[in-house]
Chains A and B, each alone.
Chain A
Amino acid sequence: MSTVVERATRRPLALGRARWIGFETILIREFQRIVRIWPQTIVPSAVTATLYLVIFGSVIGRRIGTMDGFAYMVYIAPGLIMQAVIINSYNNVVSSFYGAKFGRHIEELLVSPLPSWIIVSGYVAGGIMRGAMVGLVVSGVWMFFTRLPVLHPTIIVAAAVLTSVTFSLGGFLNAMFAKSFDQISIIPTFVLTPLIYFGGVFYSINTLPVWARHLSLVDPILYMVSSFRFGFLGVSAVGVWDAFTIMIVAVTVLFLAAILLLDRSSGIRE
């Protein structure tokens, strides 16, 4: 008599398969959650995107004219898609993981043989999935009303995935430390939203005074939005490869921090 994982620990390939099934299960569970509460997970971003489209794109945009050579409505579209990806990736992981902590069903994973890196990867994959689902919905809304060029699809996908991973990991770390539901809304409200708004979603930093332009360069979201916009429009406020380097470093550091914290189980195990 022996269990699947027990037998698998003696055979690396079987162990890999057992871990893959564990990862896949976390992802399926996240998908079920996103679909179960779709009015909270999918609809708000679609509504917000439509409101931005009407107000900034149509009403205010006409008065602004062009930015970096593009109609304002076209210029802000990639930034607003990226905003939806960032917020939804973050929110998915922070609310799902904190909810599991609060409801104690995180114990299902903690007592299981899954290693920490698989658990973190599963939640991050859930964040990417929701980011992608909402990103596609918002893109669909915008593309219905504007003609948005797609110059570098690979860069668009790479920037979206790396950004989504970064903020999924951010949400995971927030959930690890959070001790109340208030604490999972503080970071999105007081950190994430200002960083997004100052990260060049609505304007080109080239329109700013020099001091403000330099200050903007410390905002990591600027690099994510700029590289994503480059994928669509071919213009970027920063070097695209610099942006990718920053994103890869951020993902690596945050992933290691998340695994370390889960291994030590700060805020979960006693």
Chain B
Amino acid sequence: MNALSVQELTKTYGNGVQALKGIDLAVEEGDFFALLGPNGAGKTTLIGIVTSLVRKSGGQATIFGYDLDRELEAAKSCIGVVPQEINFNQFESPETIVINQAGFYGIPRPVARVRAQLYLKQLQLWDKRKHASRALSGGMKRRLMIARALMHEPRLLILDEPTAGVDIEVRRSMWEFLREINQRGTTIILTTHYLEEAETLCRNIAIIDHGRIIERDRMSNLLRRLHTETFVLTLRHPLQQAPLLPAYTAKLVDEHTVEVEISMEQNVNDLFARLSELGIEVISMRNKVNRLEEIFIRLVEKGAAA
């Protein structure tokens, strides 16, 4: 069964801006799905329609088979949403916020209290449960929104930029937590600007641009489509000009750094053999950009050119 299915979804705002131009998308139950796109591409509008915060102009959307037009109550009960902007009452405590949220989904308070303890502990907020939530750090506020979204144990969790502005350590612990949630059966749709995050967590991906889906594939298939990668090599001894590497494209960035472009048909062993022949000692190597980032930029640029 599809956790989310949308057909011919359109949205035109009052000011005439056409945010969605006929989106077709299906996300399978149990998937960890990345929805990527540049700013203003239509991601948040799509999420807004699915969570009923934005009214669609046309098309159809179903959540686990429940039609948003005809079975709204059942459809909404399946979704947990972590929005991009902080949207809890900052004068309330984290414990109050999550317990009240459970109540809106028909969870009795004794059950809500137990779940509040579980999720606030899992997201390292238990010690702060009685504090005013406005005093929490940015990362804590984001984790609080995740705890809140999980209180009714949704079948579909939608995360709109959940780690924006969160430091790397907290971000990685949130990744672990989300992986666990997904492994326990919750379908997750993630939008993020950290493409490393999408590459690490998600199995399937859709890229949206100018209100249209321009790519939809398995993450592994998409990454395989990248024909060349650029590696940045740090050298032990300085060079005055780029090394002569036939079949490779090499560029001297500074006297200790060389960038080399390698195609899928070539291999890194040959490159190192050639460098050794030239007496060039490499002390470290890294990808110039994240692989998904590279594909993302190419697809979006291609879309813009078309």
Binding site for B on A (CB under 8 A): 1-6, 8-9, 15, 17-19, 21-22, 24-26, 28-29, 32, 36, 100, 103-105, 107-115, 265, 269-270
CB-based contact B152/A3 at 8 Å: yes
Give the dominant DSSP class at B's interface. Answer: loop
* Complex interface bits, B147-171 against A, C-beta within 8 A gives 1, otherwise 0: 0100011110000000000000000
**Residue B272 interfacial (CB < 8 Å):** no
With A8-B106, A104-B86 already in contact, 14 other A-B pairs whose C-beta atoms are closer than 8 Å: A1-B185, A2-B78, A3-B77, A4-B105, A4-B107, A6-B66, A6-B77, A24-B103, A29-B96, A104-B87, A107-B87, A108-B148, A112-B76, A112-B105
- In the complex the two chains form, what is the Cα distance from A265 to B48 in whole Å? 14
- In the complex the two chains form, what is the Cα distance from A265 to B51 in whole Å? 14
- In the complex the two chains form, what is the Cα distance from A203 to B92 in whole Å? 43
CB-based contact A111/B76 at 8 Å: yes
CB-based contact A9/B105 at 8 Å: no
- In the complex the two chains form, what is the Cα distance from A122 to B66 in whole Å? 26
CB-based contact A28/B100 at 8 Å: yes
Give the dominant DSSP class at A's interface. Answer: helix
- In the complex the two chains form, what is the Cα distance from A28 to B108 in whole Å? 13
Residue in chain B with minimal CB distance to A32: B96
Residue in chain A with minimal CB distance to B14: A270
CB-based contact A269/B55 at 8 Å: yes
A–B pairs, 6, beta carbons within 8 Å: A3-B77, A3-B154, A21-B106, A108-B87, A108-B148, A111-B79
- In the complex the two chains form, what is the Cα distance from A111 to B158 in whole Å? 12
**Residue B89 interfacial (CB < 8 Å):** yes
- A270 with B73: in contact, given A4-B105, A5-B105, A109-B104 (CB under 8 Å)? no
- A22 with B155: in contact, given A32-B96, A270-B48 (CB under 8 Å)? no
- In the complex the two chains form, what is the Cα distance from A104 to B145 in whole Å? 13
- A270 with B13: in contact, given A3-B153, A111-B51 (CB under 8 Å)? yes
Residues of A within 8 A of B13 (CB): 270
- A115 with B73: in contact, given A36-B91, A103-B89, A104-B87 (CB under 8 Å)? yes
CB-based contact B101/A108 at 8 Å: yes
* Complex interface bits, B102-126 against A, C-beta within 8 A gives 1, otherwise 0: 0111111100000000000000000
Q: Which of B71, B108, B155 contacts A2 (CB 8 A)?
A: B155
Residues of B within 8 A of A111 (CB): 51-53, 76, 79, 81
Residue in chain A with minimal CB distance to B11: A270
Residue in chain B with minimal CB distance to A114: B104
Residue in chain B with minimal CB distance to A22: B104
